[in-house]
Amino acid sequence: MTKAIVAKNVTKKFKLYNTQSERLKDLLLPKSFGEEFYALRDVSFEAEKGDIIGLVGVNGSGKSTLSNIISGIVPETSGEISINGETAIIDVSAGLNNKLTGRENIELKCLMLGFNRKEIKNMEQDIIDFAELDKFIDQPVKSYSKGMKSRLGFAINVSIDPDILIVDEALSVGDKAFAKKSLEKMKEFKERGKTMFFVSHSIAQMKEFCNKIMWLEFGEKKAYGEMEDVLGDYEAFLKEYNKWSKKKRKAFRQKGFERQSKVKELV
Ligand SMILES: Nc1ncnc2c1ncn2[C@@H]1O[C@H](COP(=O)(O)OP(=O)(O)OP(=O)(O)O)[C@@H](O)[C@H]1O
């Protein structure tokens, strides 16, 4: 089996500041200010080429942070991740320049990936048609709705035909017809043996697509394995979690926050 990704102890720390002045002092003074916070901690896993991996976990568990590290948008603080191939992330908020028009964004992204002008011209109309943006393509992206941004992001990223595709919640903001079309495109990627990471709160979509699931909790890998096994456990957890009182859920989040704020090694 060919490894698409090997991740060893991938960790991402952020600093949390109580005030703006604390943030400034941390930037300007030699003494350290603020509190360290682990968005991801010691996450290790291997993905084979052709794996479709669903990332699950309640809000704030680290799914987007891991996606962004795999795609190279943010660097890991420590640990190692080796990626075999080109990655593209489809995220509603990441990767598009708001000041540029849709068309300029297409050109910029393709140029950055090494396509020449002629190749870009050939891809451009397909991207515009897939995104269904018509005349809006020459308007600045800042005037687009969330759904329009997501459609453009999706269309660009699938057109560049990456080896590893990361779809982060992109399907949840578009309309039903676009989500259907996008799912078809993802199926085509799957059939062609591409590796995919899929972040979605839809268990049904996870079941349809993924062969493996990674369950993250408070930035740590709670489980990783065959879809049926891990998703079954996660569904059982969610069923309980959704029954909890507000107070119990708050206590759960607080416990997680304390764990993620611990700088010393966990015992
Ligand atoms: N730039 C940042 N600075 C500080 N903390 C951050 C930053 N980005 C993410 N975090 C924190 O890291 C944790 C993980 O966030 P992340 O967005 O990866 O979670 P998620 O599982 O994708 O959540 P959701 O399901 O809500 O999208 C959260 O507690 C979040 O507040």
Q: What is the mean pLDDT of each run of 10 residues along the chain (267 residues)?
A: 90 90 87 88 95 93 93 92 82 78 93 89 92 92 89 88 84 77 88 91 88 96 97 95 94 90 58
Query: ipTM score here?
Result: 0.96
**Can you state the angle between helices 146-159 and 117-131, rounded to 10 degrees?**
140
pLDDT at 160: 85
Residue 250 structure tokens? 């708050």
The CATH number that domain 3-85+163-261 falls under is 3.40.50.300
State the angle between helix axes of 146-159 and 102-112 in degrees (0 to 180), rounded to the nearest 10. 30
pLDDT at 10: 97
199 CA: nearest ligand 1 atom: 22
Q: Whose Cα sits closest to atom 25 in ligand 1?
A: 59
Q: Which residue has a Cα nearest atom 3 of ligand 1?
A: 14
For residue 193, the CA-to-ligand 1 centroid distance in Å is 30
The pLDDT of residue 170 = 67
Instruction: Using the structure block, give the residue that is written with the tokens 């891991």.
Output: 66
What residue has token string 């048609």?
129
**Ligand 1: residue whose CA is nearest its atom 18:** 62
Q: What local confidence, expressed as pLDDT, does residue 93 receive? A: 59
* Ligand 1 centre distance from Cα of residue 108 (Å): 27
* Closest protein CA for atom 30 of ligand 1: 60
Q: Is the CB of 34 under 6 A from ligand 1?
A: no
Handedness of CA 160, 161, 164, 170 (dihedral sign): positive
Distance from the alpha carbon of residue 40 to the mean position of ligand 1, in angstroms: 9
pTM of the model: 0.87
From the CB of 57, is ligand 1 less than 6 Å away?
yes
Q: Could you give the residue ranges of the DSSP H alpha helices within the chain?
A: 20-28, 63-70, 102-112, 117-131, 146-159, 176-191, 203-209, 227-241, 246-261
Q: What is the pLDDT of residue 267?
A: 42
CA 236 – CA 208 distance, rounded (Å): 18
Mutate to test the pocket of ligand 1, among 22, 23, 37 (most ligand atoms within 8 A of CB): 37
Atom of ligand 1 nearest to the CA of 260: 29
196: CA distance to ligand 1 center in Å? Answer: 21
Q: Is the CB of 61 under 6 A from ligand 1?
A: yes
